[in-house]
Amino acid sequence: MWCVYLIECRNGSWYAGITNDLEARYAAHVAGSGARYTRAHPPVRLLGSRPFPDRSAASKAEYALKRLPRERKLAWLLDGAQ
């Protein structure tokens, strides 16, 4: 099982990513060994996640999420609205 997740960063921005182990991936972001973006903008909290059956589906969903305006991203994750 893969998921798309959304993290709030210290500067107020949101970072979206995919993983098949959300707990370990978030811990990597917090430790500074995650994505380059979260090394420069440390995470404050995990805003939410949404499950997908495989990596391909999660990657496509991440792409769709990143194209949404900020005000619709959280609703997309939590409500499943695209």
CATH of the domain at 69: 3.40.1440.10
Q: For the chain, how are helix, strand and coil distributed in percent, rounded to 5?
A: 45, 30, 25
Q: What is the pTM of this model?
A: 0.91
The amino acid at residue 38 is T
Rg (CA), the chain: 12
Domain that holds residue 36: 2-79
How many angstroms separate the Cα of 75 from the Cα of each of 9, 24, 42?
18, 24, 23
Residue pair 3/58 in contact (Cβ under 8 Å)? The answer is yes
Q: What is the pLDDT of residue 81?
A: 44
Tens of pLDDT, residues 52-68? 999 999 999 999 999 99
**What domain count does the chain have?**
1
pLDDT of 82 over the 60 cut: no
